[in-house]
Amino acid sequence: MTTTGAILLAGGRASRVDGAAKPLFEVGGRSLLQRAVDAVADCVPVTVVAEPVAGLSGADAVSWVREDPPFGGPSAAVVAALRAWAGEPEMELPEWTFLIACDLPGVEDAVARLHRDRLLLPAETEGLCLADEGSRPQWLTGVYRTSALLRGATALADGGRDASLRALLDDVAVAVVRAPEAETADVDTWDDLKRARARFAQEGTN
């Protein structure tokens, strides 16, 4: 049976929303962080790269790490989580790992698509990520072979600090699948948040 873990990135600067804690923004009755945790509830392990958040449903199944120093960028965050996993001697590393940004209102549908489409990948493919409607890959809406992530992390200098996620995945054979806007649209600005809340209110779903 294929094993799957998840690394959730929730510790960015959020400069376009005045430094507010984006993962705690509520959309459709749940925070964006809670939506991400719920989306990967079947994964083991699940690690959130951020300071711990109180009151999170399912938090007993979640571990927390932080890149050192903080705000080192997405690659540094992923490297920190992978190092934490490698430092647990009794932990069996999963075969696949979701990399998910915690600013995606449609994260549950996105993760469901990744689950389905991963089964269709050729054996040599090492990752799958969604692309937005402009066909731009969304690397942090993806699932990757853990061995490939470890290989990419080893190749980065300074623990991945200030490196782009594309640098981490530079040597990884990634398939890209275009997905609907509802699955790839993130919350980067206050206007994005307003649109996301309006969409969920219109749909009347959680």
Domain boundaries, the chain: 4-203
Task: For CA atoms 64, 37, 3, 131, give the dihedral sign.
Answer: negative
Contact 49, 20 (CB under 8 A): no
d(CA 79, CA 30): 28
* CB atoms closer than 10 angstroms to residue 80: 23
Percent above pLDDT 70 for the chain: 99
Checking if the pLDDT of 14 tops 90, the result is no
Task: For CA atoms 155, 156, 159, 160, give the dihedral sign.
Answer: negative
Residues 6+ apart with CB under 8 A from 153: 75, 78, 79, 82, 83, 160, 168
Q: What is the mean pLDDT of residues 50-54?
A: 91
Convert the pLDDT of each residue in 124-183 to its tens digit.
999 999 999 899 999 999 999 999 999 999 999 999 999 999 999 999 999 999 999 999
pTM of this prediction? 0.95
Give the CATH number of domain 4-203; options: 3.30.420.40, 1.10.3720.10, 2.60.40.10, 3.90.550.10: 3.90.550.10
CA triplet 156, 161, 162: central angle to 5 degrees? 105
pLDDT, residue 206, reads: 60
pLDDT, residue 151, reads: 95
Of 7-21, 74-88, 172-186, the one with minimum mean pLDDT is: 7-21
For the chain, the average pLDDT equals: 93
pLDDT, residue 58, reads: 84
Residues 6+ apart with CB under 8 A from 78: 7, 9, 49, 99, 149, 153, 160, 165, 168
Convert the pLDDT of each residue in 30-45 to its tens digit.
999 999 999 999 999 9
User: In whole angstroms, what separates CA 197 from the centre of its chain?
Assistant: 21
**Segments in 56-145 forming alpha helices (H):** 74-86, 107-118
Name the residue with higher pLDDT: 205 or 70. 70
Residues 6+ apart with CB under 8 A from 22: 10, 12, 14, 32, 102, 103, 187
